[in-house]
Structure 1
Amino acid sequence: MPPFNLTSLTPATFILGGIPGMEKSHIWISIPFCSMYLVALLGNGVVLFVIRTERSLHQPMYLFLSMLAIADLMLSTTTVPKMLALFWFSVGEISFGACLTQMFFLHFSFSAESVILLAMAFDRFVAICYPLRYTAVLTQSAVVKTGLVALVRSFCIIFPCIFLLKRLPFCGHNVIPHTYCEHMGVARLACADISINIFYGLAVPFAAIVVDFVLIVVSYVLILLALFRLPFRTARHKAFNTCGSHVCVILFFYIPAFFTVLTHRFGQEIPHHVHILLANLYVLIPPLLNPVVYGVRTKQIRKKVVKVFIYLQRHLLQE
């Protein structure tokens, strides 16, 4: 008897089901989602443009911010266009390869963003606790290496998920009750033991994110201790302001992430459509708010953005 070929049970396409129980409201839900996505594209694009064109912003903190903007654009663009196609045109079909690609870049950008936030915390730690050594520690080479570490670590953590999914048989089950492909959402369709997927998909990436978060907390504890030792109130206030934007971004990123993971693990009583809505908002809210926070709270970026808009307004009036 010939051996059973599991690859024959790999579906050619998956079907994204959208938000279960809210299919009739997809059009209305798409309006704020589309608006948030467009604002996120504009905001992160402006941040990248300002940092690229303003030589005074070619500093480690702003280079990390540009990396964060790229990660935000990847996070939202990986998921939202397909989500809107599903909401507007009921185009839920996605090939197996495209689904795995979307899953990879979704989790990859999430992991990379966590590393970038850790690097930004380290940047603030050195700037406040060891200001005289700042230029020696955070050189351009160090910033580039940090970006490479974010890429390599994220790739090494997420790439095995592709093989963990490709080995599974699906027995004709191809409807994903979600608006995009993510690791466990695809794995649950398999007609085989997914214990390895559950362990790896939860333990390894989550552990990496938790380590990043703990190191960020340690950095800010040390920063606070250093701030309270500053003799002048004005210097302390200025240092607090430089950290305020980063703290807001950290909260936007980690609180929804931990809430989503914990509710999936322990919040079985929460309706499934609430989980899906939260997951959709998670790929939109950080990319939407991060450039707003830095644009409003960072004087250099705010002044440059105002100059750009004044220039564009004059140019349009002249025409």
Structure 2
Amino acid sequence: MSSTPAPALTPEQLRDVYSRMVLIREFEEQVRRLATSGTVPGLAHLCAGQEATAVGACYFLNDDDYIASSHRGHGHCLAKGMRPDRLLAEILGKRDGYCGGRSGSMHVSDPSTGNLGTNGIVGGGISLAAGAALAARHAGGNRVAMCFFGDGALNQGIAFEVMNMASIWKLPVIFVCENNGYGEYTALEDVTAGKSLPARGEVFDIPSDILDGMDVLTVLDAAHRAIARARRGDGPSFLIFNTYRYGGHHVGDKQAYKDDDEVKQWQARDPILKLQRLLLEQQAATEEELDALRQEASRRVREAADFAKASPEPDANQLSRFVYA
């Protein structure tokens, strides 16, 4: 991995990281409530528990850098700069959503923030990010692309084909695997062969590492090194962050396949609470300041919900718009 470590964050930056993580958690809880009430059409896949990977990986990306996400992508969207109100409107299928209510949760995109889209296909965003990285190379400059995918994508052929090409061409792309231990309802060890997950990248001579995805400082440092490597023209990196989704595969998932002790152990490692303790220990924030940040995140999400609910349904006469033969 690159020898360029992340710069030490100021107390203000650490509070900013905390506020972004709290916003994602609040947003996902709002989506959960709306989905439970039947307001969200289709399935909702939440990333509560995985906030450190989204915020930490995206923090050092520039506005014009690209990301490609997965079906569990609300956190990535918010971390890259998408607005909670328009994102929630899209999840509800409303006209004021980012894609006019057409994409819903699993295929939302936003060119203005470099978001190539969430993706309902397992590993579907991997090739999109590599393509964007190739385009950025030809266009000049130092833009990079980052793709997020779950541990289930480690068994998809597209991942290996893209890693091979990215290594050969030294594309400025960062492969980020959020290993939450489960592909839908199945434990990783039941379907994934091989003792070393990083070996999947190392075989293509891609610097690869497996790290604590519940520690946002660890994610920040690893992502900064990988981004710096890509901007220098040294090629791709493969980062596996061990993390955990506190909810099910989707909101209606009862999670009978999870062990209670396992859940408690991961909840004790909550990335938001971990950063909160650090901020207080280092006197980078007071309890009052952190409470104010939580209140602000809650306010923004409440306003986003009001906006999304009030947004009109798409007009039927617009059904063929954006459809091309």
TM-score scaled to structure 1, two decimals?
A: 0.29
Higher share of residues assigned helix:
1
> Over alpha carbons, which structure has the higher Rg?
1
Greater RCO (Cα-Cα under 8 Å, separation 6 or more): 1
Given the two structures, how large is their TM-score scaled by the length of structure 2?
0.29
Q: Comparing both structures, which one devotes a greater share of its residues to strand?
A: 2
